[in-house]
Amino acid sequence: MSARMFSSSAARRTKVAVLGAGGGIGQPLSLLLKQNPLVSELSLYDIRGAPGVAADVSHVDTPSVVKGYAADKLEEALQGVKVVVIPAGVPRKPGMTRDDLFNTNASIVRDLAAAIARVSPSAHVLVISNPVNSTVPIVASTFEKAGVFDPAHIFGVTTLDVVRASRFLSQVIGAVPSECDVPVVGGHSGATIVPLFSQTKVGKAVAGEPYAKLVNRVQFGGDEVVKAKDGAGSATLSMAYAGAKFADCLLRALNGEKGVVTPTFVKSPLYADKGVDFFASLIELGPNGVQKINPVGNLTPEEQKLLEACLPDLKKNIDKGKAFVA
Ligand SMILES: NC(=O)C1=CN([C@@H]2O[C@H](COP(=O)(O)OP(=O)(O)OC[C@H]3O[C@@H](n4cnc5c(N)ncnc54)[C@H](O)[C@@H]3O)[C@@H](O)[C@H]2O)C=CC1
Ligand SMILES: O=C([O-])CC(=O)C(=O)O
């Protein structure tokens, strides 16, 4: 994959850490980040295997420096990082929901967030570990507790939903995915995932049963992969692609590119009056992270129903994350 795929400008460069770099997502994500010209240093951490992954990835012929850190070297790994991506934690097996991962992943994410808050409190944190609807509030509350929370710096990575919506729509209408830029709002699990096909030129025409099937496939795309992997985990390669894509958007914005707008799950005022204070919508990114939170825009009656179904579930997931840290 060409580095140009992700970015062409390398004006200022950034130290990036991957926590969970030895895993199914962490390894290919580290490889993709090694190809990003905006990354100057890559700090790879895991409780197992990170030095090996780092030695391997470090041979790729791009200028960034790669270092691997073993289990007891978390604080070293975080020194001077500006962006931290977290794919650490367990994945689903068939029959599990993302919320079933909470018991294991909540404390992993909380402890990693506490270390980031201590060592690199102004870092931008990109949370991949599930359940994202809860792990993002966990990171935010942990930063709050440490007195260093900046809502412009904490992101839940929902890009895989956007990637899926684009690909699945393209297959239904026979277009190329680049023409199918679908905003996906809400959260990242089942009914909390709300694709807005009406907001794309080519998606407007899909109606009736094909529309219902398309929405369902985006909302439950993760289950397709969990089922096909049959106990060996969940999406890793498409997630690494999506994580690298979102990291590139943020890196470009941090480095001064204007007009970078993409969906991501952030602390948001949009539905705070309904008790939902984290929400994914189209976010304009800037040199300090979140620059502008766009409202969801015009919705069709079907999309309005999807949003109404999303909010109560999302609220439960968010409250559970906050309660865990409190
Ligand atoms: N946001 C999204 O769209 C998606 C999220 N995910 C989530 O990403 C997470 C990781 O998935 P995979 O990479 O497939 O799992 P994996 O099991 O292959 O890798 C996880 C890695 O995390 C490491 N780890 C565990 N505890 C750690 C700690 N305290 N510090 C550092 N590293 C630690 C493990 O050693 C392992 O290498 C899961 O929670 C999964 O549900 C997966 C796909 C999409
Ligand atoms: O389905 C899972 O558990 C992993 C995930 O979040 C996704 O693939 O969207």
The CATH class that applies to domain 158-325 reads alpha beta
The CATH class that applies to domain 14-156 reads alpha beta
163 close to 171: Cβ distance less than 8 angstroms? no
| pLDDT value, residue 168 | 98
CA-closest residue to ligand 1 atom 38: 91
Q: What is the pLDDT of residues 248-293, one digit of tens each?
A: 999 999 999 999 999 999 999 999 999 999 999 999 999 999 999 9
Q: How far, in Å, is the centroid of ligand 1 from the Cα of 89?
A: 4
Q: Which of 92, 99, 105 to mutate to test the pocket of ligand 2 (most atoms within 8 A of CB)?
A: 92
| pLDDT value, residue 13 | 78
Q: What amino acid is encoded at 292 in this protein?
A: K
| pLDDT value, residue 145 | 98
Residue 5: is its pLDDT beyond 50?
A: no
Ligand 2 environment, Cβ below 6 A: 91-92, 98, 130, 160, 222, 225-226, 234-235
CA distance 6 to 35: 8
Q: Where in the chain is the domain with CATH 3.40.50.720?
A: 14-156
| Nearest-ligand number for the alpha carbon of 102 | 1
- Which own/partner pairs from 265-268 qualify as long-range (CB within 8 Å, at least 24 positions apart)? 265/132, 265/133, 265/136, 265/155, 265/156, 265/157, 265/158, 265/187, 265/188, 266/136, 266/151, 266/154, 266/155, 266/156, 266/290, 266/293, 267/140, 267/151, 267/154, 268/293
Whole-structure pTM over 0.90, yes or no?
yes
Mean pLDDT calculated for residue range 292-307: 98
Is there a binding annotation on residue 216?
no
Cα separations (Å) of 191 from 177, 238, 248, 315?
A: 23, 21, 28, 12
Closest atom, ligand 1, to C-alpha of 105 = 39
Binning pLDDT at 50, 70 and 90, where does residue 12 land?
Answer: low
- Buried-state track 191-216, b at ≥16 Cβ within 10 A, e below 16: bbbbbbbbbbebbeebeeeebeebbe
Mean pLDDT calculated for residue range 61-70: 98
Q: How far, in Å, is the centroid of ligand 2 from the Cα of 223?
A: 7
What phi and psi, each to the nearest 5 degrees, are found at residue 130? Answer: -90, 160
Mean pLDDT calculated for residue range 72-93: 98
- Mean pLDDT of all residues in the chain? 95
- Which own/partner pairs from 51-57 qualify as long-range (CB within 8 Å, at least 24 positions apart)? 52/22, 53/21, 53/22, 53/26, 53/27, 54/21, 54/30, 57/30, 57/31
CA-closest residue to ligand 1 atom 27: 88
Residue 8: is its pLDDT beyond 60?
A: no
Taking alpha carbons only, the member of 211, 206, 238 closest to residue 222 is: 238
Q: Where in the chain is the domain with CATH 3.90.110.10?
A: 158-325
More confidently predicted of 12 and 5: 12
Q: How far, in Å, is the centroid of ligand 1 from the Cα of 233?
A: 10
CA-closest residue to ligand 2 atom 7: 222
* Annotated catalytic residue 188: yes
Taking alpha carbons only, the member of 230, 232, 319 closest to residue 276 is: 319
